[in-house]
Amino acid sequence: MFVSEWSEKLTSHAKQQFMKSPFWIEAAKRGLCWEAAVMDKPSIQEAVDRMDEASTAVLRVFHICFGAGPVSEERLFLSRAGLSGAEFRYGLIQLQNAGIVFALRQGWGERLYAMPSDCFLLWHPVLFPMNKLSAADSGYGIWEHRQEDMSNKPLGRQLLTAWAELARSGLGLTSKGILPKKTTAKLMQAITLTDADMKQAGWQPETLDSYSPAVSFVLKLSMHLGVIALDGNRMKWNEKTLGEWLAEPELRQEALLLQWCLEELLEKRPAMWHIMALLARLDPGTWYSETVMAEEVRHHGLEGREWDQSLDNCLNLLRVFGWMELARVADGRMMRWAMKPLLLQDQQRQEARQEPVMIEPNGDLLVLPGCPNRIRWELELIADRKSDDQISVWQLTRSSIGRALAHGRTIPSVLSFLHAASGGLPISPLLESSLMDWGKQDPLDTKQSSDIYPMLTLDHESVTVEFQLRSSGQTLVGCELMNHEDFRIERFLPELDRVPLSWLQQLRSYHHSTRLEIMEKALSWQAPVHLSMDDAIVAFVPARLERLDGGWAVTGLLREALTHKEVCLTPEMWQGMKLIAPGVSGFV
Amino acid sequence: MERQDGPLIVQSDMTVLLDYEHPLSEEARRRLILYAELVKRPGNWHTYKMSSLSLWNAASAGINAEAIIDSLKKYARYGLPGVLETNIRKLMDRYGKLRLEIHEGNLLLHGEESLLNELAGHQVILECLRERRNNETWEISPEYRGQLKQELIRLGFPVIDLAGYHTGEALSVALRAVTRQGKTFELRDYQRQAVDLFYKEGTIQGGSGVVVLPCGAGKTIVGIAALARLNSATLILTSNATSVQQWKEELLDKTTLQPSEVGEYTGASKEVRPVTIATYQILTHRRSKKDSFSHMKLFSERDWGLIIYDEVHLLPAPVFRMTAEIQATRRLGLTATLVREDGCEEDVFSLIGPKQFELQWKTVEAEGHIASVKCTEIRVPLDQGISELYHSAEKRSRHRLAAENPGKVPVVRQLLERHQGTPTLIIGQYLDQLHALADSLEVPVITGELPQQERQSLYEQFKAGDVPVLAVSKVANFAVDLPDAAVAIQISGSYGSRQEEAQRIGRILRPKEGLNEAWFYTIVTDDTKETEFAARRQMFLLEQGYQYELEKR
């Protein structure tokens, strides 16, 4: 679920309470609301800088092990690594109080935890700083072969051509309630995605799906975006949503689609979320070695077959959706972002150039990257696409104009569109004369109004609303969002007020019986203690007590700077000790 | 990809678009033409295409993959797709991997062991093999020299042929400083350069290849100069009988060759002399499909030291087969385009040789070696008398009715007045129309019906200025030398043939005295099928870089 969707579920009071968290002090001073703060890179950095060690550690564990969740409390707790239970719970509560992690209650009382999924890629670089990888020499790579060695088109571009094909062919359904085979065959020709690609990208169509995997994927995504909807025995266009989607700059479209992929395709695969976020740090256009990247993945403590496989899966998914290029070299693979669809910043959006269409006298229409998608949409109707690469080329022909006429366009409307799309440049008189001639043909197959190819205005001011991507909304199904008031420290440090203050405040030498009492309290809280041993102070997380003949011993985790080791201690083995109540008497 | 301010956009499919208005476009173009072929240039964006052949042509000129990639990167607006870099390296890597050489009289193929082993898996290659000398050298049967090169290139491996040539029968011939007609004559710089690159000082690195020059830039002169440089008996193959005449006239006019030394080998005449000019048509003539090509014996009737293939893009398949057998003879291909409608570009590369020289049309025009042409389409309404007939006629008849629209006659008359005193050709598809128009304007007509001698006589009078206007049918489409025509008026054409309009414009490209201008008019009937066909023909010319204007009457 995305921030905007969580926001709808939260009360204003709760959101205001979040901003009172010490993590958001600077953001609150700047007047940011909760929705803005959790997505604002400087505020995120400030929040992480202000976090106590427990909260940071919990958030890191969450990111690595569970992506954006949801995850059960039990599983989350088991993944806490070296943290004591109390530290872990303390950190989790701090994160909940700041609106960074949410607790959900399931019907039978089990608790789940989740984060807004669109926060993941923004928080990840702050939580897991990574050294800048050195670029690989592009060398003499062998391309990852497919489809005449062309790289895949970006997913957003593929959707546009797929929709254009559906709009040209019509959205009528057969008696079985599905698109005719002829239409789906044309749709497959309009995209570069194949069924094999979808398998590689991890797409599982529903068992009873009548379409091939690639068609099924396109239709599901189209419906999810709200561009196409089922309406009785046919599908229909939602022209408003289509217009809003196509008004988005290409990079934002791809960013939203990547977000959707993380949600939909990688839902149960947190390793891929994590790797995707690491890959997102690479500069676009630069080749990197997969081996070097795998090293980096390992450096972050991720090892083993699952991670290698996940890296491979991530790279395949990014290649399939046209975001990354892959090449094989003698000692492995190389990768580079062909376009980086990652969370655009406002600055980048302002820089995006709106390139006009160049109209050649022979009817060739050259379209540079950055050309508004609503122009590409209309070109798909009035002209024939000849190539779609860095530059896309359409050609006006007699038959393409015939098609446009059948869909209700007129020569004056086509000329007016071309004039606007080219930024007002004059059209060659010869081409204009050809268009006039082609306009005299009889439209063979005039479409009924329900089958007319949607006409979108090029007027930038007509679309004022930014396209809002919605998640599948599965996170909250069967769950109840827990109330902010539930997150109190007393919940995990019972009887805190009965504990002598000296236990919490001073590192002192106690009688063996008091040492035992303190250890028992630490065990009941699952809290750590500080021990002074041989002139050094170490942190110890007790796990169990054993009574011995005439004495006792405690087994637990001794936490040193770089290593954690399980040890068994008897009371005479340390001199001083102090009970640590996370959030009350500091952290270890 | 990051955007930089460059004039090139490089596509994954090896297409390169050049923004002609960009300040660096000329600099980029000069590099680009070394390894990519121009496909079209309809407006400000020119389309080039790299292919295995264009890259191997570049490799044969000493350019390597890194230089090409660096040059593309330097000018590319959005960087290079990874697949493209890979393809360039892969293809360029193959050039030079195989070499044909002569050692102690034996023809040897050298290559890396792994590559030769891979090739040994192909039966068609093994047929050419005489003996395996060692892991990296095969002895090849000399008669298979051409076939081997052809098959290897089909498998994607070009061969550098360093097996050399025999010199052929000696023939003393030199270029004249003053032509027989009394005009001073010397090679233009680019013509001399083309011959030098072909000849390569007589070494085995030269002696075979193709020279690409635009229409009107003097391809014939390059051929004649190559002949004079080699001083050996030469067989010239060209596309039709008129062109044979043109070659003969140029040879006698500009070289020291005597008429007795130049023979014509056509349907009408079968002279085999030290310099023999033949048509592809006669070489590929046979009585029936079962018969052999009896005139192919011409290739062995003399000890030719050079064979010139004029209009090499039209070379027919049987002549390729014959050419495969004479790889020890020097071969020069001449053409305005390497693009063949039949896709046999690879055969030209392997059997005639790599591109040795190319000059772009714009360069030739800028230097004043061809005229600058202004093209105008004039639309006239359908004559009222036949309008009704047109609309009730069957589709097939409509084109002709529109083409023969009597409303075109006054326009032709106006154009002749506009260009009075300028040599003008009126070109038409239909003989009835041509004759009627010629009668009404009182101008002579040249059609296929007219005997060759009378045609020649009319050409002479036209050249001399005695006849200022000539009406011609499609016989004038190919290789007719009409040096002084500056205006062409096309009154009808065939169904959108791309080549036709280009050939017709070619008639007026030769340089003119004074402003060096020429005019091409095409008159079409408005609101009829004719505009559609005319548009198709013009599309090709637009893509060649000609500007068209439109006039409505």
pLDDT tens digits along A334-373: 888 887 665 544 444 445 567 889 999 889 999 988 888 9
In tens, the pLDDT along B364-407 reads 888 888 888 889 999 999 887 788 888 888 877 888 889 999 99
Closest chain A residue to the Cα of B375, Cα to Cα: A430
Q: What is the distance between the alpha carbons of residues B437 and B469, in angstroms, rounded to a whole number?
A: 12
pLDDT-based confidence at residue A149 (cuts at 50, 70, 90) = very low
Tell me the chain B residues in contact with residue A149 when contact means C-beta distances shorter than 8 Å. 12, 83, 86-87
Chain B residues with CB under 8 Å of A358 CB are 43-45
- Nearest C-alpha of chain A: how many angstroms from B134? 29
Residue B422 predicted with pLDDT over 50: yes
**Which CATH topology does B189-365 take?**
Rossmann fold (3.40.50)
Chain centre distance of CA B72: 28
Span B514-529, pLDDT tens digits: 888 899 999 999 888 8
* Interchain proximity A287–B82, CB inside 8 Å: yes
Cα–Cα–Cα angle for B56, B58, B60, rounded to 5 degrees = 70
A-chain residue closest to B44, CA distance: A360
CATH class of B105-162: alpha beta
Q: Helix-strand-coil percent breakdown of chain A, rounded to 5?
A: 45, 15, 40
**Sequence spans of domains, chain B:** 8-94, 105-162, 189-365, 371-552
User: Residue A212 above 70 pLDDT?
Assistant: yes
pLDDT at B40 over 90: no
CA dist A274 → A60, A63, A277, B289 (Å): 10, 7, 5, 71
Q: For residue A326, what is the enclosing H or E element?
A: strand A324-329
pLDDT tens for each residue of A428-446? 888 898 899 888 877 667 7
Predicted confidence at residue A461, as pLDDT, reads: 64
What is the band of B547 on the pLDDT scale with cuts at 50, 70, 90? confident
- Tell me: pLDDT of A84 over 70: yes
* Residues A285, B2: C-beta atoms closer than 8 Å: yes
CA distance A458 to chain B (A): 25
* pLDDT for residue B14: 92
Lookup result for tokens 């008019």: B521
Percentage of chain A beyond pLDDT 90 is 26
List the CATH code of the domain at B371-552: 3.40.50.300
Contacts of A359 in chain B (CB under 8 A): 43
Burial class of B388 by CB neighbour count within 10 A (0 to 12, 13 to 18, 19+): exposed
Asked if A390 lies within 8 A of B543 by C-beta distance, the reply is: no
Q: Return the pLDDT at B272.
A: 92
User: Minimal Cα distance from A364: which residue of B?
Assistant: B42
Contacts of A429 in chain B (CB under 8 A): 549-550
Cα separation of A475 and A68, whole Å?
10
Partner-chain contact A390 B15, CB within 8 Å: no
Inter-chain contact B45–A366, Cβ cutoff 8 Å?
Answer: yes
SS3 category, A435: helix
pLDDT higher than threshold 80 for residue A275: yes
Residue B11 C-alpha, separation from nearest chain A C-alpha, in angstroms: 6
Q: Find the angle CA(A252)-CA(A346)-CA(B74) to the nearest 5 degrees.
A: 75
CA-to-CA separations, B83 to A1, A467, B544, in angstroms, rounded: 37, 34, 29
Label residue A148 by pLDDT band (50, 70, 90).
very low
**At CB < 8 Å, which residues of chain B contact A?**
1-3, 9-13, 15, 17, 40, 42-45, 78-79, 81-83, 85-87, 89-90, 93, 377, 379, 527, 531-532, 535, 538-539, 542-543, 548-550
Assess whether pLDDT exceeds 90 at residue A508: no
CB A367 within 8 A of CB A393: yes
* Interchain contact, B12 vs A391, CB within 8 Å: no
Phi-psi region of B76 (alpha: psi -120 to 50; beta: other; left: phi over 0): beta
Q: Is the pLDDT of residue A150 over 70?
A: no
- The mean pLDDT of A219-240, rounded to a whole number, is 90
Of A274-288, A513-527, B467-481, give the lowest mean pLDDT range: B467-481
Helix (H, G, I), strand (E, B) or coil at A385: strand
B1 contacts in A (CB within 8 Å)? Answer: 284-285, 338-339, 369, 390
DSSP line for B1-45: ------SEEE-TTSEEEEETTSTTHHHHHHHHTTT-EEEE-SSSE
Least confident of A347-361, A415-429, B49-63, B155-169: A347-361
CB A489 within 8 A of CB A583: yes
Contact B373, B546 (CB under 8 A): yes
CA separation for the pair A432, A419 (Å, rounded)? 11
pLDDT at B496: 59
Q: What is the pLDDT of residue A193?
A: 86
Q: Which of A430, A431, A436, A442 to mutate to test the interface with B (most CBs of B within 10 A)?
A: A430
With a cut of 50, say whether residue A76 has pLDDT above it. Answer: yes
For range B41-64, the mean pLDDT: 90
The SS3 of residue A295 is helix
Which residues from chain B sit within 8 angstroms of residue A143, using beta carbons? 82-83, 86-87
CB contact under 8 A, A336 and B543: no
Return the structure tokens found at B8.
């090139």
Strand partners, B519: B374, B487
Q: Is pLDDT at A304 greater than 70 in this prediction? A: no
- Whether residues A325 and B82 touch (CB distance < 8 A) is answered with yes
Establish whether domains B105-162 and B189-365 are of one fold. Answer: no
Chain B residue closest in CA terms to A341? B1
Cα–Cα distance measured from residue A475 to residue A497, given in angstroms and rounded to the nearest whole number: 38
- How many angstroms separate the CA atoms of A485 and A495, rounded? 19
Grade residue A276 by pLDDT with cuts at 50, 70 and 90. Answer: confident
Nearest Cα residue to A507 out of A454, A576, A461: A576
Q: Do B550 and A433 count as a contact with CB atoms less than 8 A apart?
A: yes
Predicted pLDDT at B477: 58
> Is the bond preceding A116 in cis, omega lying within 30 degrees of 0?
no
CATH number of A3-127: 1.10.10.10, 3.40.30.10, 3.40.50.720, 3.10.450.50?
1.10.10.10
Q: What is the rounded average pLDDT of the residues B411-428?
A: 93
Contact A325 B81 (CB under 8 A): yes
Q: Are A371 and A378 in contact, with CB atoms under 8 Å apart?
A: no
Res. A145: pLDDT tops 60: no
Domain ranges of chain A: 3-127, 144-269+278-350, 353-458, 496-579
Question: Among partner residues B82, B532, B542, which is closest to A362 by beta-carbon distance?
Answer: B542
A338/B1 Cβ within 8 A: yes
Query: Across chain A, what does the average pLDDT equal?
Result: 84
Residue labelled with tokens 């870099």 = B85
From B540's Cα to the closest Cα of chain A, the distance in A is 9
What is the C-alpha to C-alpha distance for residues B502 and B505, in angstroms, rounded to an integer?
5
> Are B61 and B34 within 8 A, CB to CB?
yes
Q: List, in sequence order, the alpha helices (H) in A145-289.
A: 155-169, 181-190, 195-200, 213-225, 239-247, 250-264, 270-279
Return the percentage of chain B with pLDDT > 90, whole number.
Answer: 38
Q: What is the mean pLDDT of residues B127-138?
A: 89
Residue B197 has pLDDT above 60, yes or no: yes
Q: State the nearest Cα–Cα gap between B549 and chain A, in angstroms.
A: 7
Check CB contact under 8 Å for A387 and B532. Answer: no
Give pTM, 2 decimals.
0.80
Residues of chain B found within 8 Å of residue A287, distances taken between Cβ atoms: 82
- Chain A: nearest CA to B288, how far in angstroms? 42
CB burial string B146-168: b at 16+ within 10 A, e below = bbbbbbbbeeebbbbbebebebb
Query: What is the pLDDT at residue B38?
Result: 85
